[in-house]
Amino acid sequence: MSKYDVIVLGSGPGGYVTAIRASQLGMKVAIVEKESLGGVCLNWGCIPTKALIKSADVFNYLNHAADYGLKADNVDKDFNAVVKRSRDVADGMSKGVQFLMKKNKIDVIMGYGTLKKAKKIEVKAEDGSTSTVEANHIIIATGAKSRELPALPQDGKKVIGYREAMTLESQPKKMIIVGSGAIGVEFAYFYNAMGTEVTIVEYLDRIVPVEDVDVSKQMERSFKKTGINIMTSSEVTSVDTSGDGVKATVKTKKGEETLEADIVLSAVGIETNIKSIGLEEVGISTDRGKVLVNDWYQTNIPGYYAIGDITAGPALAHVASAEGILCVEKIADMHVEPLDYGNIPGCTYSTPEIASVGYTEAQAKEAGYDIKVGKFPFSASGKASAAGTKDGFVKVIFDAKYGEWLGCHMIGAGVTDMIAEAVVARKLETTGHEVLKAVHPHPTMSEAVMEAVADAYDEVIHL
């Protein structure tokens, strides 16, 4: 039986990053993976979806070449080639993780891992053979999968989840997307841009409902402008897949409607991968589908830890990575501080993009803050005008008394690359006046942050 300092169960952005950091700290490390290194994020989530979206962006540009004084006649797409490019990108990233495992001398054990008592994992390989490994510390990072609703069972053909949405053999003419979180709106943008007639059905009263209400309103305007149909305060109560396509019964405020499409994409969130991995046998406590952990990701059973989507924090790749690093640094007796979950950025990679961190305006008011709010539209940005990407804005929220940066919300081109300024500034407890006096380059999209702050303090120049 092989013995390690640390074994990580799962090789997603939580698991493989954790394994590398543990190796850097001098530990003997193994990682157990049932499918592909990189997990869902690299193989079926973050990375391949961005490749699909990039193809949609290029196709969009070509179709609007005349807006830039250019000619691009008879522009067409090869849907299968677009999908293949996405898969090739994912495969390349997975191979990159393989290289990192070798570079950091991490043993990769392929197979289905089941937790056992006494800090052991039983691994069942694809050929049916089993082996057992043990460690001083076992870190569980098994991630999550597409959640299924009782009224929306997935058959993988006409009612699909995000994995099938990335590898369809042919482009559907009509698609219904149920749910308007990050997964839903990213696929809505991709398929609409490629020429599919898309309808979004959202149970709540606005799309991207976790975002600031102004962002939701702008997103709805932008999507409707591109031809995406949006139904809010609506619920799919049943689907009929007996015919050539699919018929979805939708309950709305006005009554029931029947929508017809080739495919329904269920994008109603995720559920954790904690079943049949041995939690009960070991005695690890869970609550409502999540593993219970403390600030250092220790479970109730000594020597067993959990990070990423299976714990109570935001189900985001960068959160899983940060949690894993913190976890192993604590194991190594380094001085670490608990992760600040109030300063986690969220990003949505549709067009327009969405990026946010901290309080929304409503949340800041509910928390009792006296606030200053600033907003700068990209329609007033020289860089956005030159690029032809004037949709969207930057919105900032400050505590009026002390100048604390409470929240930042962006929607527009490239904002997922801009949000880090707010994250770092909030980490450093930067005040609004300090941001305002930090010179931002012109012309850039990022100077909209400075302008929004200036608006909060009644000093805006270009608005």
CATH of the domain at 401: 3.30.390.30
Count of domains forming the chain = 3
Helix ranges (DSSP H) in 226-309: 279-282
Question: Does 119 lie in the same domain as 179?
Answer: no
Q: pLDDT tier at 40 (50, 70, 90 boundaries)? A: confident
Which positions are catalytic?
442
CATH number of the domain residue 317 falls in: 3.50.50.60
Two tokens at 451? 């302008």
pLDDT in tens, 383-433: 999 999 999 999 999 999 999 999 999 999 999 999 999 999 999 999 999
Instruction: Give the pLDDT confidence score for residue 372 in this predicted structure.
Output: 97
Question: Does 186 lie in the same domain as 102?
Answer: no
pLDDT in tens, 229-270: 999 999 999 999 998 999 999 999 999 999 999 999 999 989
pLDDT in tens, 416-430: 999 999 999 999 999
Secondary structure (3-state) at 405: strand
Q: Is 342 annotated as a binding residue?
A: no
Question: Does 319 lie in the same domain as 371?
Answer: no
Distance (Å, whole) CA 432 – CA 397: 9
Instruction: Give the pLDDT confidence score for residue 42 in this predicted structure.
Output: 81
Instruction: Give the pLDDT confidence score for residue 134 in this predicted structure.
Output: 96
Question: Does 121 lie in the same domain as 18?
Answer: yes
C-alpha 247 chain-centroid distance: 29
Q: Which residues form the domain of 426?
A: 352-456
User: Do 239 and 159 form a contact (C-beta atoms < 8 A)?
Assistant: yes
Distance (Å, whole) CA 423 – CA 236: 37
Instruction: Give the pLDDT confidence score for residue 146 in this predicted structure.
Output: 86
Half-sphere exposure of 455 (CA within 13 A, CB side): 19
Q: Is 184 annotated as a binding residue?
A: yes
pLDDT above 90 (res 43):
no
Average pLDDT, the chain: 95
Strands 159-160 and 174-178: unpaired
pLDDT above 80 (res 1):
no
Question: Does 140 lie in the same domain as 127?
Answer: yes
Distance (Å, whole) CA 311 – CA 315: 8
Question: Does 243 lie in the same domain as 282?
Answer: no
Q: In terms of C-beta density within 10 A (0-12 exposed, 13-18 middle, 19 or more buried), how is residue 211 classed?
A: buried
Please state whether the predicted TM-score (pTM) of the whole model is above 0.85: yes
Report yes or no on 288 lying in a domain.
Answer: yes
Q: pLDDT tier at 55 (50, 70, 90 boundaries)? A: very high
Q: Is 113 annotated as a binding residue?
A: yes
Question: Does 83 lie in the same domain as 7?
Answer: yes
Q: Is 181 annotated as a binding residue?
A: yes
Distance (Å, whole) CA 138 – CA 306: 8
Question: Does 262 lie in the same domain as 225?
Answer: yes
Question: Does 297 lie in the same domain as 257?
Answer: no
Report yes or no on 210 lying in a domain.
Answer: yes
Instruction: Give the pLDDT confidence score for residue 46 in this predicted structure.
Output: 86
pLDDT in tens, 263-313: 999 999 899 999 999 999 999 999 999 999 999 999 999 999 999 999 998
Question: Does 132 lie in the same domain as 15?
Answer: yes
Question: Does 177 lie in the same domain as 242?
Answer: yes
Question: Does 27 lie in the same domain as 81?
Answer: yes
